[in-house]
A and B are shown apart, each in its own frame.
Chain A
Amino acid sequence: MALKVVIIGNGITGITTARHIRKLSNAHITVISDETAYFFSRTALMYVYMGHLKFEHTQPYENWFWKKNKINLVQARVDKIDFLHKKILLNDASFLDYDKLIIATGSQPRTVDVPGQHLKGVQGLYHKQDVELMEKNTAGIRKAVIIGGGLIGIEMAEMLHSRNIAVDFLIREQHYWASVLPIPEATMISKHIAEYHINLHPQTELKEIIGDKNGAVKSIITSDNTEIECQFVGITIGVQPNVNFLKNSEIAIDKGILVNEYLETNITDVYAAGDCAQFTHPRYKHPAIEQLWYTGKMQGEALAQTICGHKTMYNRGVWFNSAKFLAIEYQTYGAMFNTPAKGDTTFYWEHPKGKIAMRANFNASNFTLTGFNFMGIRFRQAVAENWIIAQKNIWEVMENLNVGFFDPEFFTNHNQPILTKFLQQYPKPIA
């Protein structure tokens, strides 16, 4: 009798786990999702709204793939889990048995608590259904407001901009995403946002949403009591683990489902991974809840090993992430925060035209590389990782940046001006 594995959630974490279990074993695999019939790339939803893609293009596998690989897909919502008898109750009143259960239910948008929060035209952005709602909510409108300056906020701004909808973008910090980006990078992105005629309101919060007589958004009031006319309010103040259906059950939850480094929960044979999981003891310089595509994928790969009998600790490796702010691409490697980590010092170079920049952080006492930020420059992940792991000397790093540049052919290579500025700031010690 094959092992019965049930996975709740068909996002990147759940599907990666399923695919890797299939590679390693003949387990009976069922993936449950309420959101869609087939796996799709959540990060691509913005491109569907913008008309770059059709929804089907966001599905990485053709529909025959699942049957061929014997991964059963069930489109339903999980109402309740009976952990004692290892049974799952679905919303169509049917039951599923499992030997091992993986919870990978992802996130849900965080909501605001202000007057008018339930008016028509107020919404977050996370699920496929949110994009469909956004289609409806933004049809024919002229003005929108976005609350919250993170990654989803700027995606939403780009989406609305693509439909010629004027955007007022309220952020809590002085510059865009300044909670993560150092001030120079954050300033550069804020300027870039202005080039798109997206109106950034720094240090501004939402106080109230005002509706018209039909219960639709008419305007908002900001924390400095300014009224901004709009027909749409995007709430992008972050996401939180989608675990409400497990509240009041035996599974241990704080913000997310508590797991150890093997992604095991407090209940035997029940695991949690991806956005919905929270590490009870997070690693040094790592967050307790990792809400990234990349981390979901890596957690799924590790978990599949464990499920198939090769107990494997989830190892995040060298931290990396990437994003795109309108037309500027961003890549980061290593422990990079808005100020250098303790004991680190920093070097920053920006192109005079202000759309290309790089930052290298290094240990102030032994001059070894600790991390990179790249804006408008593509860099080889393997090179960055190996240098960070090897604690490469910062002068060697800067002299060899060329090795890592990943920009397309014929692009201007900026390694010389970067090196020149670096050596002015940090002259090479005579050996």
Chain B
Amino acid sequence: MKDEQISMALTDNSEASTLQKTGIILFASGILSAIIALAGAGNAQPVLFFWLAFGLSTAGGLLYAYTYFKNPSGIQNNGIFKNGVNNSGVIAWLTGLVFTGFYIILYWFPQYLEGLIRATDTFSVLLRNRPADQWFLYGTIYTLAVLVMGIRFIGKYRHSRYQVIRTLSVMFFQTGFAFLLPAVLLRLNQPEFYFSYFWPLKYSYLFPNDVNYFLNSGAVGYFMVFWGAVMTFIATPLLTYNYGKRWYCSFVCGCGGLAETVGDPFRQNSDKSLLSWKIERYSVHSVLVLVSLATILLWINSYTNGTVLGNFSGSFAKSYGFFIGSIFSGVVGTGFYPIFGSRVWCRFGCPMAAILGIFQRFKSKFRITTNGGQCISCGNCSTYCEMGIDVRAYAQKGENIIRASCVGCGICSAVCPRGVLKLENLDEKGRFEGYTKPEIN
């Protein structure tokens, strides 16, 4: 009996690693097919290479994700800091380089993606009734990545219903609201619109150009402008007051969705030092100022028909789009996952996160409650905080954690080995009050 048990344990692990290896091989074959497609084969055999590139890599990813379901439910962080990919090692830098390179090609040299774009044509026609472009290709990869890595995430954290529900939510919003719905709108000859993105993250939705374009597109366009304005000015403060910024960042947002799923293996690489907190506050609020400025300037320009500002507001907005919209949120924001952690953009750049954060810090019911004097200062919460919050610094003093940057992912609470942390929405009054031990005589 004794030996049987032990050998079972060993088979379990080796079986898991065989599955994992098979998954990696399949995924690599998918990537290889994609490269062959890019080299020209995608133009010649689009359907075949669609299935080879996307089918193989998805199948590989799913197999790899499946191994997380085979482990006993509970925290599965064994060996993370023994592994170069997760741990800012050489492989992490290489991974970062590949991600970054992909974004540079996507934004500025899409002609090199021709082979893969053609491979997605059939799919694009099916969904949108028009051939693919680089953004359709990107959307397809993005959504597949969120779905596959979302399944992995659910396997990894399946003991926590908060994590499962939150992940299903971002998977749903990415697939439905950020991929299928815009495609269907195009198919119906309506403006392509993302109902899950709002100003200032999707800054152009309140720029005069977009607003005029939507208003000229009929009833659906009117609704889109209405929706965007309501979400930005009414729903955002209201929902953030009641639930904290997590209602958006950890349940709806596509950038957040990618960070939580594809980015999860890298969450521990965010810097926790006081210095990076200082940099973060300057940087994220500067972006908010810039995008607000760009929006205001564009509207002044639009009202005055360009008589006051000339070309200035247009080129200001264009620069914002180039430096912040493309370079910061795309190239740096995703490309640097393996180096700076999964929420680089959300933490240092996202103007939406900045606004939500201001509400969360000053006018919200949300807090992470510290359970009395139970913290053992182990550091799991701080280490696995993707936003780089030194959670432990508060928890070990018995203080609640109320930080503008907290996206409410709940991982600190999940990894805490003593059950010290709870995300909750309670009465606003007393949210900053820490725990004091009751006296007994």
Contact = CB atoms under 8 A, between A and B. Distances in A.
Q: Specify whether A and B are partners.
A: yes
A317 B435 CA distance: 14
A386 B75 contact: no
Contact of A166 (B6, B73, B382, B410): B6
B377 interface: yes
Contacts of B279: none
Interface residues of B, number: 56
Interface residues of A, number: 54
Interface stretch (B136-144, B145-153, B368-376): B368-376
Given A44-B380, A381-B374, A408-B413, A331 B419 contact: yes
Contacts of A58: 378-379
Interface in A394-416: 406-412
Contact of A51 (B72, B78, B159, B380): B78
A408 B423 contact: yes
A406 B6 contact: no
Nearest to A322: B418
Interface in B397-441: 410, 413-415, 417-419, 422-424, 435, 437-440
B238 interface: no
B2 A199 contact: yes
B305 to A, nearest CB: 52
Contact of B440 (A12, A317, A406): A317
A12 to B, nearest CB: 7
Nearest to A142: B10
A315 B439 CA distance: 8
B209 interface: no
A166 B372 contact: no
Contacts of B12: 197
B379 A60 contact: yes
A294 B371 CA distance: 13
Interface stretch (B25-33, B80-88, B321-329): B80-88
Given A57-B383, A327-B74, A408 B377 contact: no
Given A57-B379, A164-B10, A327 B374 contact: no
Given A43-B377, A47-B378, A318 B78 contact: no
A329 B418 contact: yes
Nearest to A162: B78
Contact of B160 (A54, A320, A382, A408): A408
B307 interface: no
Contacts of A60: 377, 379, 392-393, 396
Contacts of B319: none
A23 to B, nearest CB: 11
- Scoring A194, A322, A407, A409 by chain B CB atoms within 10 A of each residue's CB, the highest score goes to A409
A51 B82 contact: yes
A378 B79 contact: no
B200 to A, nearest CB: 28
B8 A197 contact: yes
Contacts of A143: 6
A385 B82 contact: no
A382 B165 CA distance: 29
Contact of A389 (B72, B80, B160, B440): B440
B373 A408 contact: no
Interface in B61-111: 72-75, 77-83
B13 interface: yes
A175 interface: no
A296 B440 CA distance: 19
Interface string B377-394: 111101100000000110
B374 A409 contact: no
A195 interface: yes
A102 B9 CA distance: 48
Contacts of B369: 406
Contact of A53 (B8, B159, B380, B418): B380
Contacts of A281: none
Given A43-B378, A381-B372, A409-B423, A196 B440 contact: no
Given A50-B79, A52-B81, A409 B162 contact: yes
A359 interface: no
A136 interface: no
Interface in A299-333: 315, 317-318, 320, 322-324, 326-327, 329, 331
B8 to A, nearest CB: 6
Interface string A367-398: 00000000000101110011001000000000
A92 interface: no
A380 B372 contact: yes
B81 A53 contact: yes
26 contacts: A41-B377, A44-B377, A44-B378, A50-B77, A52-B75, A52-B77, A52-B80, A53-B378, A53-B379, A59-B379, A164-B10, A164-B13, A166-B10, A197-B9, A297-B373, A318-B438, A318-B440, A320-B373, A322-B418, A382-B372, A385-B372, A385-B438, A406-B371, A408-B422, A409-B424, A412-B161
Ranked nearest first, the 6 interchain pairs of A and B with the lowest CB-CB distance are: A381-B372, A327-B74, A197-B9, A44-B378, A378-B419, A51-B79
Interface of A: 12, 41, 43-44, 47, 50-54, 57-60, 62, 143, 162, 164, 166, 168, 194-197, 199, 293-294, 297-298, 315, 317-318, 320, 322-324, 326-327, 329, 331, 378, 380-382, 385-386, 389, 406-412
Interface of B: 2, 5-6, 8-10, 12-13, 72-75, 77-83, 159-162, 165, 273-274, 369, 371-374, 376-380, 382-383, 392-393, 396, 410, 413-415, 417-419, 422-424, 435, 437-440
